[in-house]
Structure 1
Amino acid sequence: MPSITCFLAVLLSASILLASGVVHADISPEQYRQPPALWPAMNHSNPSAKELAPLPGLPRVSWHTPRTERLGYQLFFDPRLSGSGQIACASCHDPDLGWADGRQVAIGHNRQAGIRNTMSILNSAYFKHLFWDGRAKGLIDQALDPISNPLEMNASLPEVLDRLNAIPGYQQAFAKAFNSERINADHLAMALAAFERSIVSRPNRLDRFINGNYQALTDQQIKGLHLFRTKAGCISCHSGALYSDGDFHHTGLSYYGRKYQDTGLEQVTGRAEDRGKFRTPSLRDLAYTGPWMHNGLFPSIRGILNMYNAGMIGNTRLPPGLPPLSVHIKPLHLSSAELDALEAFLSALNQQPYRRPLPKLPDYLSISSWK
């Protein structure tokens, strides 16, 4: 019979493991019905992972004013920013479709298909790097890229500026917003970015739970929250208020050497070690932003969970030329009931985004009058 000393030693060891999150015994929902500082410890593979949290207020910037936001609102919905006069920013970032487009990949000029899924602009003001490959450093840097992209709006920026300068309503609005007699590219980018900064998620059930409404999550969703923060390791990449670390990871979905090949971040940095890396998308309002992943090939959240549960394709099956998978990717060994709980928790991250009516645009300039 073991001594009482041995028994206490085993009990102490088990307590330490539980405190570190290594042991994933069933938890009581009451362990989470309290402030996050008192929740069970996270268990993850990313030392910089942050606790889940509500969105903070946006930091102020001098160029985002009520006037620039209203002007950007009009411009965002105005097809005159495109070469054909038929495509607006809102064509791919529809407020009725989670500020994305609901397609596998974007459809642009002359019905050309893009190569990537349209990222929602929800909460884009909080990210330091935009686009799946991070090529834009903030909203102003991003704003004009789609206008001149031949697969998207296919316009000449100088011609767009001449067109806007010929519309009295825009001349007056830009003059009031920027105290400038002539519309220029910098002011166009600032106006679009100011409106896009205003597209922010509404508080969801998890936000309400964190803020003290402890009935906002069901017991099953709380179990999913625990798995998200511990055994499933989701919080390694999907952390903080955005449920995203804003970083780039190789998850094995670049289809390297096959149809749908996309090398991601490597196209921006030119570094082989970045091949196959893409920016971690936010999970806020994910129910409204499908289909998912950078290629839009995945229409089912459960299917995605199953892939991560299996450890994706694993390093041993990676084709030559690809770097190893992210250190955060590994088999999770989640049971069907645990996957159910995790999926239930993800449903608590959604809140129907605000919808915006179509704005009234300045007097229309006919296409026949364009230069």
Structure 2
Amino acid sequence: MLRVFRLSCLIGAAAMLMGAVALRDDNPPPDALRQLYAGAPASWPRPMLHDGAVFEEFGALAPRPKLEGREAALAALGEKLFNEPGLSGSGQIACASCHNRELGFGDGLRTSFGHDRKRGTRNAQPLFTAAWMHELFWDGRAPSLEAQSHLPIENPVEMAGEIAAAERWVNRQPGYRAEFEAVFGPGRIDIDHVASALGAFQRTLRPPRSKWDRMLEAGPQAFSDQELLGLHLFRTKAGCANCHNGPLFSDQRYHNLQISFYGRRLEDLGRYTVTKDPVDVGRFRTPSLRAVRRTGPFMHNGIFPTLVGVVNMYNGGGGRDRQTPSEISPGVPVPQPDPLLKRLDLTGEERAALVAFLETL
């Protein structure tokens, strides 16, 4: 009798385990999802995270700061400089050439064109969330907006200028001299003044108000059934929240998606070029997903023209970098796939729901 009781307990436990797995793998019906996501993000279903993930709960971004006095004048000067081609070597290229407000503060290109129509190797990142980023560029080589500001001026493929020449040019412009003096006081204008103004302007930028913002305020009734399913998948089965989380939808860390083209014509070693740490070969900073539908093409090299392609890549477990030493960069270690990458095997319906959710951001 005792043996029969133990056997029945084992069978019951197995059935409960199978039921739990099925419940985890099956998507809740729309009405159930609306109940699950009715409260604040902290009350939503916990994200399904892999070992090593660093998660911050979703939330709203801080509103645009109200600037007055000197701060307002500095940001206004920065906006003018952002659109100023005179800082470039040719006098024809400005920051706004690759970060166009009408194109989501990107340029809509796979990789950007610069001086003499030279083509760069990386996609122009949108600037909607630059104010919150700890490090700038895909490889994080700039620790602040100010440190970032002068690098495109000097880059021979981008603005192809010289710092000294840019300083001489701006000091010869009566209008700029007057505006800088109003903010900084009398004296010669140098690159630090220019960088300070450019940084101040970029800190005023915010993503446009979106359906996601309305959902955070009004609740799940702001979303369609498909969009709500996409949010649930993003947090759970699809694993997107392992890297894309917090108000920015970015963990601000570096990951290898196996699309560095290591050892091939489009090779880009990513963060490794900054740190020389073997673990950073092929790693790139997680971009924010805010306003993502406005900011294609996607990835550091712009190889995906649509969000459908991005979702399909993740669904297959990432790209496929070669695992033999590169002849292009002898001595550089073979890139290792990010441990957070997993094959997802999402259905077509689930992939479409994810895209629908991404387009709300």
TM-score normalised over the length of structure 1: 0.86
Q: Residues 1-371 of structure 1 correspond to what in structure 2 (within 5 A)?
A: 9=13, 23-27=24-28, 28-30=32-34, 31-45=36-50, 46-57=52-63, 65-313=71-319, 318-320=323-325, 321-349=333-361
The one-letter amino acid of 1:251's match is L
CA distance in 1, matches of 2:313, 2:53: 24
Q: Deviations over 1:252-287 (max 9, x none)?
A: 011011110000111001122211001111111111
Change (3 A) 1:148 1:62: farther
Aligned positions, number: 345
What is the DSSP-based 3-state SS (H/G/I as helix, E as strand, rest coil) of the residue aligned with 1:190? helix
After TM superposition, give the deviation of residue 6 of structure 1 in Å.
6.2
2:172 is matched by which residue type in structure 1? Answer: A
**Stretch moving more, 28-37 or 120-129:** 28-37
Q: Provide the C-alpha distance between the structure 1 equivalents of 2:12 and 2:360, rounded to a whole number of angstroms.
A: 40
CA deviations on 1:264-322 (whole Å, 9 max, x unpaired) are 1110011222110011111111111111111112112111111111112468x634442
Between Structure 1 and Structure 2, which shows a larger proportion of helix residues?
Answer: 2
Identity of aligned residues (%): 40
Change (3 A) 1:150 1:270: same
CA RMSD of aligned residues (A): 2.5
Question: In the alignment, residue 162 of structure 1 is paired with which amino acid?
Answer: R
Cα deviation for residue 60 of structure 1 reads 10
Contact 2:259 2:320 in 1 (8 A): no
CA drift of 1:168 comes to 1.2
How far the C-alpha of 1:59 sits from its partner, in A, is 8.4
**In structure 2, do the counterparts of structure 1 residues 15 and 38 end up closer, same or farther at CA, with 3 Å as the change threshold?**
farther
CA distance in 2, matches of 1:271, 1:61: 41
Q: State the shift of 1:26 in Å.
A: 1.9
The structural deviation recorded for 1:7 is 7.8
Contact 1:63 1:194 in 2 (8 A): no
Q: Please tell me the residue identity of whatever aligns with 2:45.
A: P
Aligned partners of 1:103 and 1:296 also within 8 Å: yes
Task: Confirm or deny: 8 A CA contact 1:249 1:326 kept in the other structure.
Answer: yes
Does structure 2 retain, via aligned residues, the 8 Å contact 1:77–1:88?
A: yes
User: Structure 1 pair 330/196, CA: closer, same or farther in 2 (3 Å)?
Assistant: same
CA offset digits 1:230-268 (Å, max 9, x no partner): 110000011111111111101101101111000011100
Distance in 2 (alpha carbons) for counterparts of 1:66 and 1:15 = 59
**Alpha carbons 2:48, 2:235 under 8 Å: kept:** yes
CA distance in 1, matches of 2:129, 2:275: 25
Runs of 4+ aligned structure 1 residues displaced above 3 Å come to 1-18, 57-64, 317-321
Cα distance change on mapping 1:118 and 1:57 into 2, 3 Å = same
Cα distance in 1 between the residues matched to 2:70 and 2:309: 40
Aligned residue number for residue 328 of structure 2? none
What TM-score, normalized by structure 2, do the two folds share?
A: 0.89
Q: Within 1, Cα distance between the matches of 2:182 and 2:195? A: 16
CA contact (8 A) 2:269 2:282 kept: yes
- Provide the C-alpha distance between the structure 1 equivalents of 2:166 and 2:253, rounded to a whole number of angstroms: 34
Write the letter of the residue equivalent to 2:347: S
Structure 1, gaps ≥5 residues long:
350-371
Deviations 1:300-356 (A, max 9, x none): 2111111111112468x634442321111110011111111111111111xxxxxxx
Task: After TM superposition, give the deviation of residue 17 of structure 1 in Å.
Answer: 6.6
- CA–CA separation in structure 2 for the residues paired with 1:71 and 1:246: 29
Compared CA separation, residues 17 and 41, structure 1 to 2 (3 A): farther
CA distance in 1, matches of 2:112, 2:98: 7
What is the rounded CA distance, in whole Å, between the counterparts of 1:64 and 1:193 in structure 2?
14
Structure 2: unaligned runs, 5 residues or longer: 326-332
In 2, the alpha carbon distance for the partners of 1:93 and 1:150 equals 18
Displacement of 1:117 after TM fit? 0.8
* Contact map agreement 1:251 1:329 (CA 8 A) in 2: yes
